[in-house]
Amino acid sequence: MVNKLKKIVIYTINIIGILCLIYFAIPYIMNDNTIRNPNAMLATYSWDTCGFVLTAGLIPLIVSNALAYYITKAKKIVKLLWFIPSIVCIVIVAHYLLVRTEWEEKEKALELVATMKCSRDSNHYVYKIYLEKDNTYSLTVEDKDNFPLSKVDYTSKETIITSIEEYYKSIGGMCP
C-alpha cells in the first residue's frame, strides 16, 4: 500500500512537472514579447519570465524524472523515456542562459527625444520619451502618477505622444 502510494505521488509530480514544462516552454519557444504586468516592479517579457521559471524548475524536474525512472519496472530503454522532459528543459535552459541572456552590462545610451506635460484635477505630470541604443522607445513616469502604461503604443515617438494624449482626453485631462 505504501509502495503504491509512493508511485502515485511520484507519477503525479512528474505529470505536474511535464505540464509546467509545456506551459512555460511554449511562450519561450514562440518568443512571446508581451509584458503581462507592465506596472510591476520588474516588468519583463513573457519569454524571459518563462526562461527564468524553467531554469528554477530544472533541478526539481530532473529529480522527479529520476525517481520515476527508479520506481518504474520496465526495460531500461523504456525507463529512459522518463528523462525526455528533463532533456527538453536542459536544452531550453541552456539556450536561455547561453544565448538569450545578455550577461555583460549594457550601456544604456538614452537620448531624450520628447518631454510632455499633462494635467488632470489640478495635478501636473511630466512624461519623458527616450530613444534607446537599440532604436526602441521608453517612457518615464513620475512615482506619484498612476498612468496605465499598458495604454501606450511604443512604436514611435508620435504614437507614444498620441497614446498619452488620448488617455488624458478620455479621463477629462489635457496635454497642452
pLDDT above 80: residue 176: no
pLDDT of residue 155: 86
pLDDT above 90: residue 3: no
pLDDT of residue 108: 55
pLDDT digits (tens, 9 = 90+) for 36-82: 887 778 778 888 999 999 999 999 999 999 999 999 888 988 989 99
Distance separating alpha carbons of residues 78 and 87, to the nearest angstrom: 15
Distance separating alpha carbons of residues 117 and 115, to the nearest angstrom: 7
Pairing of strands 123-131, 111-120: antiparallel
pLDDT band (50, 70, 90) for residue 137: confident
Tallying the residues shown for the chain, one arrives at 176
Q: Return all residues near 123 (Cβ < 8 A) that are at least 6 apart.
A: none
- Cell (9 digits) for 126: 511630466
